[in-house]
């Protein structure tokens, strides 16, 4: 960790805890700051706040009192999930108090160079593939951090100059950076998302684009060349641009030619060797190849990962093959676009499990992607809406109560050679606390099915 003095005896407010807030508060305390933590959860129900108090950090819990900001704070470190129209954040900005997120702190102390990955879809998968390819080359070469579940500042504390920090970054995190400068930045794609937080698409795109704002010609920007919007944005970066494309041959960058994975006209390996299914995952893979080839990772290391990587949990994750059926868990598909991407990845007949929270939208956009879907098993608040589209597409429909009940019904409707795919196209909150809980319920139901049928 770099021994920086910029926070010594500075009065800093950490707003919101969770993992990143705890790490930020602890780090700032070590750096000599006078830290106050403010969290909505009551102190008696807040083990994180209790632990920080034991370190000697001032803790205020149970509400966000705006008058707290009258105490002369010089910096506010905000949990990424707290929007900028929050009264505390809004008042801090009116008072001229700088507002940052925890990834800014991580950059300031890190001895290791950073690979920053953002985008609307594919961030976690791309981040994981890059990390595995680097570690396949040299064990311990990469450390995962950021939105993938490992607080960036905690990882940066222990990273060394001969390692890389492979950091997944959300738009929420990137809105709160000032000096953050990854050595390599990656933008997988940009679609319309999180408008409840960002209010406009322009603000959302600008937040993503922050990933490269401090890069220079000595740094690299890996970007999706299949999106004209991103092509246009590259005219505004100082970084060296390395493109990737699933649809066109490139003079420089990563692409596919004659079913071969290519980088700068060099054959990396065969597309047939990729274990992870889906055109959207091919996009993620090419982004990863473009990234690691600039670092010097060997083709052997790249292909070893691609031949064995089954996917990130709940993201078109291969679960098992049983009696000729392949089961996939795509519980992270909480919108129509994600389910479209998953369905595009399969040429085999599919039995689709879908449904969940009703946000008021219809599902007609799914219809063109149901050509290979022989049956749809629907559940949750949107069951009728998805069933209507499936019936109009000529697909058989089965109603069930929930994901657990869907698995035996899907199996009964399937044949050897079919794919059984959970890709709900909806958030989980009508029946399950998170998409992870929903995906785990699906996998437990598969185990129960295989145990019962296999008797």
Distances (CA, A) of 214 to 177, 185, 211, 239, 291: 10, 11, 8, 9, 18
Measured between alpha carbons, how far is 171 from 205 in angstroms, rounded to an integer? 8
- Cα angle vertex 358, ends 352, 364, to 5°? 55
39: β partners: 61
Tell me: do 179 and 280 sit in the same domain. Answer: yes
Q: Do residue 121 and residue 21 come from a single domain?
A: no
As averages over each run of 10 residues, the pLDDT of the chain (455 residues) reads: 95 94 96 97 94 96 96 96 93 97 97 97 94 96 93 96 97 94 97 72 92 98 97 97 97 96 97 88 96 97 95 89 96 92 92 95 96 97 98 97 98 98 96 96 97 81
Domain CATH code at residue 224: 3.40.1190.10
Which residues does 228 contact at the CB level (< 8 Å), separation at least 6? Answer: none
Domain assignment of residue 27, yes or no: yes
Tokens describing residue 127: 């981040």
**Quick one: 359 and 442 in the same domain?**
yes
CA atoms within 13 A on the CB side of 434: 4
Q: Of 74, 100, 126, which residue constitutes the final position of a domain?
A: 100
182/263 same-domain check: yes
Domain assignment present for 371? yes
Helical spans, DSSP H, in 199-346: 201-209, 228-233, 279-293, 299-308, 336-344
Q: What is the pLDDT of residue 199?
A: 74
Asked, for residue 217, whether it belongs to a domain, the answer is yes
Asked if 259 contacts 270 with a C-beta cutoff of 8 angstroms, the reply is yes
pTM, full prediction: 0.85
Query: Is there a single domain that holds both residue 253 and residue 364?
Result: no
Residue where a domain terminates, one of 37, 66, 100? 100
Do residues 209 and 340 share a domain? no
CATH number of the structural domain spanning residue 343: 3.90.190.20
Q: What Cα–Cα distance (Å) separates residue 212 from each residue in 26, 93, 217, 221, 410?
A: 28, 24, 11, 7, 45
Of 143, 170, 443, 448, the C-alpha closest to 314 is 443
What span, in angstroms and rounded, lies between the C-alpha atoms of 8 and 22?
18
**Does a structural domain hold residue 6?**
no
Asked whether residue 63 falls in the same domain as residue 143, the answer is no
Same domain, 264 and 156: yes
Helix then strand count (H, E) for the chain reads 16, 20
Looking at residue 121, its pLDDT comes to 86
Based on the fold, state whether residues 66 and 107 are members of the same structural domain. Answer: no
Position 104 scores a pLDDT of 97
Residue 1 within any structural domain of the chain: no
Which one of 100, 124, 158 terminates a domain? 100
Give the number of domains in the chain.
3
The reply to whether 270 and 377 lie within a common domain is no
Q: Tell me what pLDDT residue 222 has.
A: 98
C-alpha 171/C-alpha 123 separation (Å) is 11
Q: What's the CATH number where 51 sits?
A: 3.40.50.720
Q: How far apart are CA 174 and CA 181, in angstroms?
A: 11
Is the Cβ–Cβ distance between 425 and 369 less than 8 Å? no
The parent domain of residue 178 ranges over 103-308
Per-residue pLDDT, 195: 66
Encode burial over 20-42: b for 16+ CB neighbours within 10 A, e otherwise. bbbbbbbbbbebebbbbbbbeee
Q: Are residues 184 and 255 in the same domain?
A: yes
Identify whether residues 57 and 107 lie together within a single domain. Answer: no
Helix, strand, coil tally for the chain in percent (to 5): 40, 20, 40
Residue 121 lies in a domain: yes
């Amino acid at each position: 960790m770099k021994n920086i003095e910029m926070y010594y005896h500075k009065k800093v407010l950490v707003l919101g805890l969770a993992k990143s807030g705890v790490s930020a508060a602890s780090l700032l305390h070590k750096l000599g700051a006078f830290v106050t933590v403010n969290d909505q959860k009551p102190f008696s129900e807040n083990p994180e706040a209790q632990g920080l108090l034991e370190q000697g950090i001032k803790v205020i819990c149970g509400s966000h009192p705006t008058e707290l900001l009258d105490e002369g704070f010089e910096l506010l470190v905000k949990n990424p999930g707290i929007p900028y129209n929050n009264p505390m954040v809004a008042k801090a900005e009116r008072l001229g108090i700088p507002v940052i997120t925890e990834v800014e702190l991580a950059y300031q102390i890190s001895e290791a160079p950073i690979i920053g990955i953002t985008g609307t879809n594919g961030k976690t998968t791309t981040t994981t593939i890059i990390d595995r390819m680097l570690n396949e080359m040299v064990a311990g070469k990469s450390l995962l951090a950021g939105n993938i579940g490992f607080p960036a500042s905690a990882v940066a504390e222990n990273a060394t100059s001969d390692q890389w920090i492979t950091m997944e970054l959300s738009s929420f995190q990137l809105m709160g950076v000032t000096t953050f400068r990854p050595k390599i930045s990656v933008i997988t794609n940009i679609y319309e998302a999180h408008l409840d937080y960002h209010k406009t698409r322009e603000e959302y795109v600008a937040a993503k684009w922050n990933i490269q704002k401090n890069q220079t010609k000595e740094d690299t920007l890996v970007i999706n060349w299949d999106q004209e919007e991103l092509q246009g944005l590259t005219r505004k970066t100082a970084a060296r641009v390395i493109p990737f494309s699933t649809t066109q041959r490139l003079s420089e960058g990563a692409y596919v030619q004659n079913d071969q994975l290519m980088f700068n006209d060099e054959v990396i390996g065969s597309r047939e060797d990729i274990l992870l299914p889906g055109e959207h995952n091919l996009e993620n893979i090419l982004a990863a190849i473009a990234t690691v080839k600039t670092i010097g990772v060997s083709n052997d290391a790249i292909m070893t990962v691609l031949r064995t990587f089954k996917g990130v949990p709940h993201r078109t994750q291969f679960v098992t093959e049983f009696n000729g059926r392949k089961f996939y868990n795509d519980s992270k598909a909480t919108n129509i676009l994600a389910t479209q991407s998953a369905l595009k990845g399969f040429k085999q007949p599919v039995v689709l499990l879908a449904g969940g929270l009703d946000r008021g939208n219809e599902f007609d956009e799914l219809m063109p992607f149901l050509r290979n879907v022989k049956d749809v098993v629907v559940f949750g608040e949107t069951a009728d809406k998805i069933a209507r589209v499936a019936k109009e597409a000529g697909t058989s429909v089965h109603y069930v109560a929930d994901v657990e009940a869907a698995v035996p019904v899907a199996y009964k409707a399937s044949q050897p050679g079919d794919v059984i795919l959970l890709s709900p196209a909806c958030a989980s909150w009508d029946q399950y606390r998170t998409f992870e809980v929903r995906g785990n319920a699906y996998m437990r139901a598969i185990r129960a099915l295989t145990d019962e049928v296999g008797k």
